[in-house]
Amino acid sequence: METYFLRIAESLILPPGGNIALLLLSYLCTAEILRKFVQISACLALYICSLPAITTALAVPLEVYPALKLEKNINAEAIVVVAAGTYKNAMEYGQHSVGSLTLQRIRYAAWLQKKTGLPILVSGGRLNSDLALPAEVMHDTLTNEFNARVQWVEKNSRNTYENAVNSGEILKTHDIRNIVLVTHAWHMKRTVDAFSNQGLEVYPAPTLFSGKLESPALVDFLPSAKALYMNRLLLHENIGNLWYKIRY
């Protein structure tokens, strides 16, 4: 129930839902100057949240872990990859499949397994009334499409904290304490904290970095649908980091 209400609140706060809510609320303002101020603020906030330059500003503080260097001595015993949504009722496959973010993560996990030979643990449970079970579709895709070996399937977690707790229990049962952890670069900070708190030694293996290293160009200040999507994810992650400090 908590997860359900958090998702509703997120939809009403983060763009574009938050901007739409502000525009609708503006019509409750009796003073015309206040109504115009709220409307302009909602439009300006939507413009700012649609800028690629803001993507870099939001991503860089989150992407604190560099890409994993396999040439270094890594004393890991397993690869853990956490879910990020599913593609429900995929008509072309005739079944549920992995969502785009999850696909990016498991692709990297499969690549790492080919390089290291380490077994994989996939983690992700059903959210609310969702029919698709992330961990199961991750297992299916890794096995049948990437020819990867999935050793463990953790399918009860509903968020990053539970990914860490439930995965930690499975790993400790098999006397595994050192893991390579796969998720997006912008999600890694919170994920490493959650898994480290379970007494695991974590080697971060971030994928898909969003923060640009080069200087901003003119196009970085032009609104973009892709930037709006990414900035919503990054705002969600920044709020998630704050929430986890309070909640856990």
Q: Sign of torsion, CA 178 183 188 191?
A: negative
Q: Where are the domains of the chain?
A: 2-61+220-247, 78-207
Contacts of 135 (CB under 8 A, 6+ apart): 83, 122, 123, 124, 125, 153, 154, 155
Integer Cα distance of 163 and 196 in angstroms: 12
For the ranges 120-134, 160-174, 205-219, the lowest mean pLDDT is seen at 120-134
Query: 78-207 in CATH: which number?
Result: 3.40.50.620
CB contact burial 91-130 (16+ within 10 A = b; e otherwise): eeeeebbbbebbbbbbbbbbebbeeeebbbbbbbbbbeee
The set of residues, in sequence order, having a beta carbon less than 8 Å from that of 134 and lying 6+ positions away, is 83, 85, 86, 98, 102, 122, 124, 125, 126, 155
pLDDT: is 39 or 126 the higher one? 39
Between vectors from CA 8 to CA 211 and to CA 20, what angle results, nearest 5°?
75
Instruction: Please report, in angstroms and rounded to a whole number, the separation of the first and last CA atoms in the chain.
Output: 17
Confidence (pLDDT) at 248: 83
Give the model's pLDDT for residue 73.
78
Taking 90 as the threshold, does the pLDDT of residue 8 lie above it?
A: no
Q: Where are the beta strands (DSSP E) in 50-158?
A: 78-82, 86-90, 95-98, 120-123, 150-154
pLDDT band at 74 (very low <50, low <70, confident <90, very high): confident
Output the DSSP codes for 217-248: -GGGGS--HHHHHHHHHHHHHHHHHHHHHHH-
User: What gap in Å lies between CA 98 and CA 79, rounded to an integer?
Assistant: 18
pLDDT tier at 214, thresholds 50, 70, 90: confident
